[in-house]
Amino acid sequence: MSERNVVVRMRDVHKSFSGVSILAGLSFELERGKCLGIMGGSGTGKSVALRHVIGLMKPDSGVVEVAGDDLAALDRKGLAAMRRRMGYVFQEGALINWLTVAENLALPLKENTKLSPSEIDQKVQEKLALVRIPDAGAKYPTEISGGMKKRVGIARALITDPALILYDEPNAGLDPEISRSINRLMRDVSEELGVSSLVVEHRVDCLRTVADEVLFLYKGQALVHEPTESFFRPKNTRLREFLGVDAADAQSPDQASS
């Protein structure tokens, strides 16, 4: 029974690039409908971990399971079917530059489904409304702001109605105000659609808003993995250093009273 409630499971995943070990025994589980944040310094392998979940990279050893299936055991068709139930939000958006926003959203439906043009159009409009940019369809990616690109990226990841959505640094390159609005959008998407999500991000604000649990990736392993509340009141020295907790204590009222 409990087996079915785990959407993503990594077990002792190792990965190195030309001799440099990036993931060294990473293990975690993500439950259905939950949001797990992955925190860690630049270059610690957060993106690499995400790429394993969507099958862009294969582990040197260890197991990556999505919805109960071992990714390594899937053939090309099986992997494609699995990916249709996942959405991936890229750091820079990765929108196709020579297609309009609406065409970008329509592309996966046009290529991989038998939906009619009007049905596709309707879905595109629906997703644009969901990310609160209903009028952006005719614009090209080069004509819109960074925050709007993120929204389009999220809409594109959601276009196939996935059960799992992966965010790679959703706040990267955004100012604090736009970041907050993107974070609220991510939370709303999880709540409205009930999707599970995996968020790679090193900004505290983002994970405080969206994550149910947070994992601290350090030296290729999950050094700390706790519910969000307790994660940000860390006991682990390395995590305290990373978050700069000792400096932040003065501003945090609940810390001051304890």
Partner 1 sequence: MFSEGSIPDWWPTLLALVAITSTLYTLWQLGGFRELLREAGARLALLAATFACVPHLFRRRRWFLHQLFLAGVMNLHVVGFVGLFIGMIISLQTGIELARFGQQDQIGPLVAAGMAREMGPFITAIILASTFGSALAAEMGTMAVSDELTALEVMSIDRVSLLILPRVAALAIICPLLTVVCDMIGILGGGFVANAQLGVGWNLYLDSAFAALSGLGDTIPFPKDVYTGLFKSFCFGILIAIVSCQSGSEARGGALGVGRATSRAVRDSAIGIIVANYFLTWVFYGGAS
Ligand X SMILES: Nc1ncnc2c1ncn2[C@@H]1O[C@H](COP(=O)(O)OP(=O)(O)O)[C@@H](O)[C@H]1O
In the complex, what is the shortest distance from the CB of residue 56 to Mg ion, in angstroms, rounded to a whole number? 13
State yes or no: residue 22 binds ligand X (CB under 6 A). Answer: yes
Closer to ligand X at the Cβ: 48 or 211? 48
Q: Is there a contact between 142 and 97 (Cβ–Cβ < 8 Å)? A: yes
State yes or no: residue 97 binds partner 1 (CB under 8 A). Answer: yes
Closer to partner 1 at the Cβ: 90 or 231? 90
Q: Looking up tokens 């029974």, which residue turns up? A: 1
- DSSP 8-state class, residue 144: S
How far apart CA 44 and CA 220 sit, in angstroms, is 7
Q: Looking up tokens 């196709």, which residue turns up? A: 96
Q: Which does 224 bind (CB under 5 to 8 A by kind): partner 1, Mg ion, ligand X, none?
A: none
State yes or no: residue 17 binds ligand X (CB under 6 A). Answer: yes
Q: Which two tokens stand for residue 14?
A: 């190792």
State yes or no: residue 16 binds ligand X (CB under 6 A). Answer: no
Q: Give the three-class secondary structure for 201.
A: coil
- Determine which residue in the list 8, 35, 38, 95 makes contact with partner 1, applying CB under 8 A: 95
Give me the sign of the Cα torsion angle 105, 107, 110, 113.
negative
How far apart CA 41 and CA 39 sit, in angstroms, is 7
How far apart CA 209 and CA 207 sit, in angstroms, is 5
Q: Which two tokens stand for residue 247?
A: 């400096």
Rule CB under 5 A: which of 47-76 touch Mg ion?
Answer: 47
Phi-psi map region of 67: left, alpha, beta (phi>0 left; psi -120 to 50 alpha) = left
In the complex, what is the shortest distance from the CB of residue 200 to partner 1, in angstroms, rounded to a whole number? 14
- Determine which residue in the list 8, 22, 39, 90 makes contact with partner 1, applying CB under 8 A: 90
State yes or no: residue 34 binds partner 1 (CB under 8 A). Answer: no
What residues form DSSP beta bridges with 171? none
Closer to Mg ion at the Cβ: 47 or 196? 47
State yes or no: residue 80 binds partner 1 (CB under 8 A). Answer: yes
Closer to ligand X at the Cβ: 143 or 241? 241
State yes or no: residue 48 binds ligand X (CB under 6 A). Answer: yes
Q: Which does 162 bind (CB under 5 to 8 A by kind): ligand X, Mg ion, partner 1, none?
A: none
In the complex, what is the shortest distance from the CB of residue 168 to Mg ion, in angstroms, rounded to a whole number? 6
State yes or no: residue 81 binds ligand X (CB under 6 A). Answer: no
In the complex, what is the shortest distance from the CB of residue 83 to partner 1, in angstroms, rounded to a whole number? 5
Nearest of 182, 215, 224 to residue 49 by alpha carbon: 215
Residues 6+ apart with CB under 8 A from 239: 216, 218, 223, 224, 231, 245
Q: Which does 112 bind (CB under 5 to 8 A by kind): Mg ion, partner 1, ligand X, none?
A: partner 1
Interaction site with ligand X (CB under 6 A): 17, 22, 40, 42-48
Interaction site with Mg ion (CB under 5 A): 47
